[in-house]
Structure 1
Amino acid sequence: MVEWFVNVLRTYPELAVFLSIGIGFLIGPWKFMGFSLGTVTGTLLAAVVIGQVHIDIDSAVKSTFFIMFIFAVGYGVGPQFIRGLKADGAREVLFALSVLALCLIVPLIAAKIAGLELGYAAGLYAGSQTISAAIGVATDQINHLGLSTEQVQTYANQIPIAYAVTYIYGTIGSAIILAKIGPRLIGVDLVAACKEYEAKLGGGAATETGEGIVSAYRAIEARAFDIPEGSDLLGQPVKNLLPGVRIYAERIKRGDQIIEVDDNTMLQAGDIVMFSGRRADLVGLLENSLKESDAPELLSIPSEKLDVLITNKEVHGKTLEQLGRLSISRGVYVSKLMRNMIELPLLPGTIVHRGDILTVLGSKRHVEAAIAEIGYADRPVDTTDLAFVGWGIFLGGLIGTLAVMMGGFPISLSTTGGALLAGLLLGWLRTVHPTFGRIPGPSLWLMNTLGLNVFIAVIGITAGPGFIAGLQQAGIALLLWGIVATSLPMIFSVYVGHYVFKFHPAILFGACAGARTTTAALGMIQEAAQSRIPALGYGMPYAIGNTLLTIFGMVVVLILS
Structure 2
Amino acid sequence: MSLLDDPLILIFVILFVGSFIGQLEYKGVNLGASGVLLFAMVLGHFGYQIPAIVQNLGLSLFIVAVGLQAGPRFFRMMRSSGLVFAILALVIIVIAIITTIIVSKIFNLSAPLSLGLMTGALTSTPGLAAALEATNDPIVSVGYGIAYPFGVIAVVLFVQLFPKVLKVDLEKDLQKTLSPVKHKSTLKNMTIKVENNIAHKKTLKELQRTIKNSAIISRVIRGDRNFLGRNDTVLLIGDEIIAVGYPEDLNKLKEAVGKEVTTDVNIRENIKMHRVTVDSPYMIGKSLREIKLREKYNVTVTRLERAGYEFPPAAAWRFERGDVLTVVCSPERIKGVQELFGTRQHEEANIHIFSLSIILLLGILIGMIPIHIPGLGSMTLGVAGGPLLIAIIIGHFGKVGPIQARFYQPSNRVIRDVGLVLFLAGAGTTAGSGLVEVVVNEGVGLIIGGALITLIPMFVSFIIAKKLFHLSIIHSLGAICGGMTSTPGLGACNTLVNTDDPAIAYAAAYPIALIFVAIASQFLVLIL
Regarding TM over 0.5, the answer is yes
Provide the secondary structure at the position in 2 that maps to 1:503: coil
8 Å Cα contact 2:174-2:472 kept in structure 1: no
Unaligned stretches of 5+ residues in structure 1:
144-154, 214-232, 247-262, 278-301, 316-325
C-alpha displacement of 1:422: 0.8
8 Å Cα contact 1:396-1:421 kept in structure 2: yes
2:403 paired with 1:403: no
The one of 522, 525, 543 equivalent to 2:493 is 525
TM-score by length of 2: 0.72
Q: Comparing 430-439 with 478-487, which one deviates more in the overlay? A: 430-439
Query: CA separation of 1:119/1:365 partners in 2, compared to 1, >3 Å: closer, same or farther?
Result: farther
The one of 388, 402, 408 equivalent to 2:355 is 388
Q: Which residues of 2 match residues 91-102 of structure 1 at below 5 A?
A: 91-102=84-95
Q: Which residues of 2 match residues 260-409 of structure 1 at below 5 A?
A: 267=267, 312=287, 328=300, 337-338=306-307, 358-359=323-324, 381=347, 382-404=349-371
Query: CA separation of 1:555/1:14 partners in 2, compared to 1, >3 Å: closer, same or farther?
Result: farther
- Report the Cα distance in structure 1 between the residues aligned to 2:264 and 2:13, rounded to whole angstroms: 64
2:28 paired with 1:9: no
Provide the secondary structure at the position in 2 that maps to 1:36: coil
TM-score by length of 1: 0.68
Opposite residue 509 of structure 2, the aligned amino acid is: P
C-alpha displacement of 1:13: 1.3
8 Å Cα contact 1:20-1:47 kept in structure 2: yes
C-alpha displacement of 1:264: 12
Query: CA separation of 1:384/1:363 partners in 2, compared to 1, >3 Å: closer, same or farther?
Result: farther
Query: CA separation of 1:202/1:62 partners in 2, compared to 1, >3 Å: closer, same or farther?
Result: closer
2:46 alignment partner in structure 1: 53
C-alpha displacement of 1:470: 2.3
2:25 alignment partner in structure 1: 31
2:449 paired with 1:474: no
2:214 alignment partner in structure 1: none
C-alpha displacement of 1:303: 7.5
2:127 paired with 1:180: no
2:167 paired with 1:167: no
Q: Comparing 498-507 with 482-491, which one deviates more in the overlay? A: 498-507
2:395 alignment partner in structure 1: 427
1:512 alignment partner in structure 2: 480
C-alpha displacement of 1:488: 1.0
C-alpha displacement of 1:398: 0.8
Query: CA separation of 1:96/1:275 partners in 2, compared to 1, >3 Å: closer, same or farther?
Result: same
Opposite residue 77 of structure 1, the aligned amino acid is: A
Opposite residue 14 of structure 1, the aligned amino acid is: L
2:514 paired with 1:546: yes
2:504 alignment partner in structure 1: 536
8 Å Cα contact 1:35-1:172 kept in structure 2: yes
Render the CA deviation track for 1:464-491: whole Å, top value 9, x for unaligned.
2332332233233212221111011011
Provide the secondary structure at the position in 1 that maps to 2:124: coil
1:284 alignment partner in structure 2: none
Query: CA separation of 1:440/1:19 partners in 2, compared to 1, >3 Å: closer, same or farther?
Result: same
Opposite residue 22 of structure 1, the aligned amino acid is: F
2:526 paired with 1:558: yes
1:229 alignment partner in structure 2: none
8 Å Cα contact 2:278-2:319 kept in structure 1: no
1:77 alignment partner in structure 2: 70
- Report the Cα distance in structure 2 between the residues aligned to 1:130 and 1:366, rounded to whole angstroms: 52
8 Å Cα contact 2:63-2:388 kept in structure 1: yes
C-alpha displacement of 1:68: 1.6
Quote the RMSD (CA, aligned, Å): 4.5
Identity of aligned residues (%): 23
1:190 alignment partner in structure 2: 170
2:134 alignment partner in structure 1: 141
Opposite residue 12 of structure 2, the aligned amino acid is: F
- Report the Cα distance in structure 1 between the residues aligned to 2:73 and 2:466, rounded to whole angstroms: 23
Render the CA deviation track for 1:91-125: whole Å, top value 9, x for unaligned.
34433322221122112212221111222211111
2:210 alignment partner in structure 1: none
- Report the Cα distance in structure 2 between the residues aligned to 1:557 and 1:93, rounded to whole angstroms: 24
